[in-house]
Amino acid sequence: MENFSNPKISIVMPLYNSEKFIETAVESVLTQTFKDFELILIDDCSTDSTIEIISKYDDPRIKFVRKDKNSGESASRNLGIKTARGKYIYFADHDDAMLENTLEIFYNAAEESGAEVVFMNHWYDTHDSDFQLPSIVKIEQESFADPTPRFLSENLIERLRTDYIDRKTHVTPWLKIQRLDFLRNNDIYFPLTTLNGDVLFHFAELAFGKKLQVIDACCYVRRIHPNRTMDAPAETHLRKVAQSLSPAIQYLREVISKIQIPESFRIEIESEAFDRYFRIYLKRIYSGDLPIEKIDSILSECSSADSDLTRVLVNAYEARFVKKFGK
């Protein structure tokens, strides 16, 4: 029986101009075999018909929140953490869908193991922008670097090295369910960075978790859009990377200050974060689209930028990509 005041699971779904996809996403929640949940829809000041579409749903499990100011997906998820009432919290995206047994699989696994965080080890990708459940076309199965069902290492340094630095588990919020009290008690939240907030949130969960589990499950469908972030201009990428680096390092240091790791490992973690931010966008940024002078100008505008970031960027490009991809 549903418990509307204390549901077992809180599903947090940020919305922004979601009119093309929101019905599929919401319907995939409402048709779950597991019924004891609340669905918290948090609108980030949409300007399309999202609100009109949502208003047609008359289900007491749906809680709708509209923000006064557009502040991004991470801020919406953080509001969800503050608003949620469930024992567990799950973050779903507005343009994706869950298979009907997603919540049931997650809940049973978490209850049986007592894990603070439970990851599914596979998911589906679809390039069909108009897909409707249960019929899905052009679907592909993806997995972690290490999809083996397991509990992550109890050794903190080994866990951070394997599952953060080496990325043996996936960082995306919709691939895991977590206990709400675990997040609140450890003050785990999504950093308000332009890029890689999911990675940093993942790091915090790895840092504070005592029992983290990967299960053998594949029940989430991610919609692949043709207009992904990587299709934006090179200058846009570089600005996002440089502007995100400083708050990312600050977030890492805030978490690291609460755990016991050697100084040398702290430096390794921060260096990896720096490398990751630039590695992801390196070839796109420095592929001839931007002259060196423009790169230097953009980096110097950002408070996070060291005086030699341009040199580091160009040297990294030369070392990593010229040999591999050619010029």
- pLDDT for position 309: 52
Q: How many residues does this entry show for the chain?
A: 327
CB burial of 271-298 (b: ≥16 within 10 Å; e: otherwise) equals ebbbebbbebbbebbbeeebeeeebbeb
- pLDDT for position 277: 72
Q: What's the distance, CA 75 to chain centroid?
A: 12
Reported in sequence order, the residue ranges of the chain that DSSP labels E, i.e. its strands, are: 9-15, 37-43, 62-66, 88-91, 97-98, 117-126, 139-143, 150-151, 176-179, 212-223
Reported in sequence order, the residue ranges of 148-301 that DSSP labels E, i.e. its strands, are: 150-151, 176-179, 212-223
pLDDT in tens, 239-283: 777 777 778 888 999 999 999 999 999 988 887 887 777 665 555
Query: Is pLDDT at 11 greater than 90 in this prediction?
Result: yes
State in Å, rounded, how far the first CA of the chain is from the last one.
62
- pLDDT for position 108: 98
pLDDT in tens, 97-136: 999 999 999 999 999 999 999 999 999 998 887 777 766 6
pLDDT in tens, 186-229: 999 999 987 789 999 999 999 999 999 999 999 999 998 765 54
The domain limits of the chain are: 9-223, 232-325
pLDDT in tens, 56-81: 999 999 999 999 999 999 999 999 99
Query: What does the block give as tokens for 98?
Result: 């869950």
Query: What does the block give as tokens for 69?
Result: 């100011």
d(CA 69, CA 46): 10
Can you list the alpha helix ranges (DSSP code H) found in 47-154?
50-54, 73-83, 102-113
Confidence category of residue 304, pLDDT binned at 50, 70, 90: very low
What is the architecture of the domain spanning 9-223? Alpha-Beta Complex (3.90)
323 or 252, higher pLDDT = 252
Model confidence, pTM: 0.87
Can you list the alpha helix ranges (DSSP code H) found in 102-168?
102-113, 156-160
